[in-house]
Amino acid sequence: MTDMLSTHYSSWFAYQLQELITRSHHRLTNMSQPSCRFVLFGTEFSGGRIMVDLLRRVVADARYGPLPSTWTLEPLLEQRHFFPLRHIQRHGWACSNYLFGFKLSAMDLIATHGMSEPSRFVAILYEQGYKVIHLQRRDLMRHAIAVLKAHQPTSQRINPQALIATLKHLDEQRIAEAAIVSQVPHLTITYETDLLDPNVHNATAQRLCRFLSLQQRQQARYSMKLVHQRISDLIANYDEVCAALECSDYAYVLTEASAKLVI
């Protein structure tokens, strides 16, 4: 008799749980999503802040008016979620603006969520209407320095071994990113050629508008000169760093690092 009651209550609980899930799914499915959705795919310190500012002030569609000053892109999968796709969808449904996007990195998919086929997840996003913008940075040396300086903003010295480890980490992310985005149509925005120089922001905004099917709200009006700044001006222990790099797999970054910086 006790076993029969236990089985009965277990079946009833399973039925109620399934009904709750089904009702929740129907409720969420019927909710409207922003008309324009995209994912900004790339590594940290690749120009994400400039992209947000450009999208909010310049690219924002003239047909719908300006985006609020609080509009931004969140790294939605930076922490692990049991249902990552549903987590993204919930944020999309909660968005009151016509333009919804979020940041995503290869490490979010591979390391944080343990996905064996991260390209498949991005393909699913694309199939659900998310356009993919690949944000990349060519200058590996300056990219690594930016990452390290963010963790020690007051120091002008760079730990050579930490730099080499960061270069390796960024290199691995680049390889993973290239493999993932190659599976879906996407727009590539490069920090050095499309974002670093404010004088090209208008051309970049036009490309973004065409890709996202938006009507540009205003022209980007910048006029700023660029100057050349050597890597040695950024690092106090430059000679020590060079000596370590020359004995590593990343000696080539010493000659490939570009010299153009905005002041």
Q: What is the DSSP string of 10-54?
A: HHHHHHHHHHHHHHHHHHHHTS---SEEEEEEE-TTSSHHHHHHH
Q: Is the pLDDT of residue 102 over 90?
A: yes
- pTM score of the predicted model: 0.83
Average pLDDT, the chain: 85
Tens-place pLDDT, residues 131-169: 999 999 999 999 999 999 998 888 899 999 999 999 999
pLDDT of residue 30: 44
How large is the average pLDDT for residues 117-132?
96
Contact yes or no for 139/47 (Cβ under 8 A): no
Tens-place pLDDT, residues 21-46: 455 544 444 457 888 999 999 999 99
As a CATH number, domain 27-262 is 3.40.50.300
| Tokens found for residue 195 | 């974002």
Please state, in angstroms and as integers, the Cα–Cα distance from residue 143 to each residue in 132, 137, 138, 154, following that order: 22, 7, 8, 18
The pLDDT > 70 percentage for the chain reads: 81
Residue 133 per-residue DSSP state: E
pLDDT of residue 226: 57
How large is the average pLDDT for residues 122-127?
96
Contact yes or no for 128/244 (Cβ under 8 A): no
| Tokens found for residue 8 | 């009965």
CA distance 69 to 72: 8
Q: Of 50-59, 132-141, 157-166, 234-243, which gets the smallest average pLDDT? A: 50-59
For the chain, domain boundaries = 27-262
pLDDT band at residue 5 using 50, 70 and 90 as cut-offs = very low
